[in-house]
Each structure stands twice: as structure tokens, then as C-alpha cells.
Homo-oligomer: A and B are copies of this chain.
Amino acid sequence: MNGENLLNVKDLSFLSEIENMAIVGVSKSRNFFFLNAHLENFKGKIYAINPTLKEIPGYDDGTKGLIYSSIKDVPDRVDYAFITVPREKVLDVVDECAEKGVKLVSVFTAEFSDSGTEEGLRLENELIKRAKSKVRILGPNGMGLYYPKKGIAWRPGFPANPGRVGLICQSGGLVNISVFMAKEMGLTFSKVFSYGNGADLDFVDLLAYFSQDDETDYIIAYVEGIREERGKTLRKVLEQNKKPIIILKGGVSTAGKVAAKTHTAALTGKNEIWNAIFKQFGVIHVETLAELIYGALILDSYGPVKLNNFIVCSVSGGYGVMITDLLEKYSMRVPQFSHEIQNQIAKLFYRRGTSPKNPLDVSVQFYDMENLYNIFDLALSDEIMDAMIFDIPGWYFDPHYRLRKYDDWEGNLFKALSLGQKFNKPIFVVIQRTDFLETRYNTVKKLRELKIPVFGQPKEFLPFLQEMNKNFEKWK
């Protein structure tokens, strides 16, 4: 096991069997940060390894684990180790892990090939030798593995509930931001790999793993580069892959390429080659971390879809005009309803200052929830329409907002927004960020439970929809 298969990628199928783990290099000066993080949700035993430490407050009663001076001394099976010892000691620890039968280690310690020094590079090569392909390595210079189902998490506050999106991230800083940003949007992950220098497990291995992983439906990644000799395997993996992939490629600018080299020793490669790969295999290429997470949110909500014709429904006529302009900019359309449906919708518009044409300007009628439900029902029933965008300012969800007076207004709005399911048509909600923080956040969470994605403004998702439309044929 742990070997390489015909595809020349490493086997990680053992991940689902992880039962116990160890933190090697628990540190009082860091207030046992990584130990405490893993203790939050890990299901099995966590052994704390430190040659001199005698006690850890609140931990060492043995219920969750015990302190040992070496991983070799642990009288139990250890499947996974998080290594955070000084660079000079990493090799010996990996030796011990190999001996102990540990299947995977995350090496948090940096200054291997990423240091740009000969010594760093030598140590990284030595590291691979010591692992003897018995121990798989994430890192060095990475955060390792976040696996919610098992409760493996290198940070406190990472969500404990698993999702269906897999994230591969070459940067340890970006991966933390990604997880918390996703959390704010109600998006969770099946597994997250932060592989740093990728000395052993690299982008290609992890992509191949997710591509076959039953717990993962969609793959997103931040990648700076791969070793040149892995190009062929990457193409093979992408060829066999059936899951939608979104990639944020770091180091596409001249200065960015230099910076990436310093950051993770990555050779960022020629943009033309990457762009050709993206195009050939239908990879959605995004430009910011936010776009990566927003894109994942859309896939997680609706899967890959092709969307041309939009219903726009706005509480503010001006905002509806703006969304309409933007949809056309991003190669989508806001067509008129079919004659019969238009007539029926028009009957439901009874207040002045509203408009029953697409973009629908419901204005204050919006408070009349039964009416809004019926408008949505009719609009979504139109065969020409593929999807709907609904926008509403954050303050409507503020319970102190003075004009609000209907029973279970919010619940009824959610019911209307759930009509997307009836017609199998995606609904995208824009709730502008307007100084009602908690209120907005709570609403986003509730809509997320209904699998309806929420954004702060239309440019957060329209460029992604355009890219998805372009690449849709590859995933059908």
C-alpha cells in the first residue's frame, strides 16, 4: 500500500482508515496551539510528542491521549502525525514515523526547498528518502490535512461538518483564509490539503485522489506550479476526471512568478501551457481567492449548469437595471416572459412604482409574501428561463426594521426562494452588505441550509457563471 498506481499517482485511499494521530513537537510557547486545534473535534486518540514536556493542562488525564517523548513509545497504532519540530529534527521524526507505521505526516516546518538554499533542498530530498514511500508526506511548509469527518483540523474554529467540496492549496496562509471565508458563506469541505512545497504528495497526486474520492463531488485548488516532469501525469489525471474543477493559478504575472518561487519553490510554468490545459479539460480558471470560494459555493448548490436566460427580481428598480446590464456584459440574457405568463404576472402587480416586466421590480409589494410566491412561481414556470437572480438589501432581515409587519415574513420569503427546486432552476440571492452584520449573516446561514447561495454583489458570481457556461460541455 501507499505505493504508486499505473497513473503514477500516490495512493491515499488509507485516509478513511485514520483512527489515531500524534502531534510531534507540541509546544508550550505556542500554548499547545496545534494540539488544542485537533482536540476540538478529533474522534480518536491524539498523542502529544515532546521529549522533555511532562504535563499539558487539561489534556494529560489520558482520556484524549498522553504525552510521550517519542512517537515510537506510543503503545497504540498511530495513523497520522502532524509534525512541527525544528527543521533539524524533522528527518529523525520521519524515520521514527516510518518505523512506527504512520501512514501520513503533515510537515508544518518550513525552510526546506522554499528557503531557496542548497541546504534546504538537500534536506527536502533527504526527507523523501527517509519516508521510504512508507509514509506519505504533506509539506514541508504546509498546513497538512483538514478532514472534518474525522475531526482532523490544524486550526481551532474550523467547521466540524463535512461538505462535498475538496480543496487543494499550495499556500498555508491562503488555505486558512479559504476555510474561514467558506465558513462565512456556509460552505464546508470534504477534505482540504495544504501541501506546501509538495515534496512527496503534490498537486497532481491530490487532484487524482479527489477525482476518485467518494466523499468529494467538486474540486477547487490554489496552485502555483508543478514539477515539469509531472505535466504528463496531470493531463492523464484531468483526462480521466469527471468532476468539475476550479483553479486559482498563482504566479501568472512576471513579478508573481518570482514571488511564487520564493513562496513554495514552485516553478509556475508558462501561462500558455496552463491556459491550454484549462481549456482542453474544461477547468474553470478564476483570478481571486474569493472567486474560487464563490465558485465552489455555486457548484455545491447547483452542480455544473448552463444558464443563459435569467429572471431578475429586484426590490430596487435601479439595482435590477444594473444586474441586467451586467448579465449582458457576461454573455447572459434577461429576456421577456412569454406572452401568456407575462399577462398572468402583470395581474399580480398592483402597486405604483413597480414593474411586472423582466427585470421584475417588485418594490414594496415585496412585503406581500403570498403574492411574491405566486410571482416567483409564474416566472420560474416560463420555459425560456434558466435561472433567477433576486436582490434584497440586508436591512429587510433586521427584526427592528419598522415597516415589517407580516407573520413569518422571513420564512415565507425562504419558501418563495425554494421554488427553484420545484422547477429545477438555480436561484442566486444578492443581499447587499449594508451594516446589518449579524442579521445578514444569520440569513445567509439559513438560506445556505436550503442550498441557496448568497452573494454581496453581482460581480461576485457573474464572471464565474460565464466561465461555467463556456466549460459546461465538458462535464455534462
Residues of A within 8 A of B (CB): 30-31, 33, 36, 87, 110-111, 114-115, 141, 156-157, 169-174, 176-177, 180-181, 183-184, 222, 224, 248, 250-256, 258-260, 262-264, 287-291, 314-322, 324-329, 333-335, 352-353, 355, 357-359, 361, 363, 393-395, 402-403, 432-438, 441, 456-459
Contact = CB atoms under 8 A, between A and B. Distances in A.
A352 B321 contact: no
Contact of A457 (B253, B290, B334): B290
A357 B254 CA distance: 14
Given A87-B352, A172-B316, A402-B36, A224 B287 contact: no
8 contacts: A141-B353, A180-B393, A180-B436, A253-B325, A253-B327, A253-B328, A259-B317, A289-B432
Contacts of A353: 110-111, 114, 141
Contacts of A438: 437-438
A33 B401 CA distance: 10
A445 B250 CA distance: 31
A163 to B, nearest CB: 15
A403 B254 CA distance: 35
A393 B253 contact: no
A326 B287 contact: yes
B437 A263 contact: no
A250 B180 contact: no
Given A156-B402, A181-B435, A289-B457, 4 more contacts: A33-B402, A172-B318, A248-B322, A259-B317
Contact of A173 (B171, B316, B456): B316
Contacts of A456: 290, 456
B394 A288 contact: no
A359 B321 contact: no
Q: Which of A254, A255, A315, A432 has the most CB of B within 10 A?
A: A255
Nearest to A249: B325
A26 to B, nearest CB: 14
B402 A318 contact: no
A175 to B, nearest CB: 8
A337 to B, nearest CB: 12
B171 A259 contact: no
A321 B290 contact: no
A403 B317 CA distance: 48
A38 to B, nearest CB: 14
Contacts of A262: 317, 355, 357, 361
A115 B351 CA distance: 11
Contacts of A328: 253-256
Contacts of A115: 352
Contact of A110 (B319, B320, B352, B457): B352
B250 A318 contact: yes
A441 B434 contact: no
Nearest to A359: B259
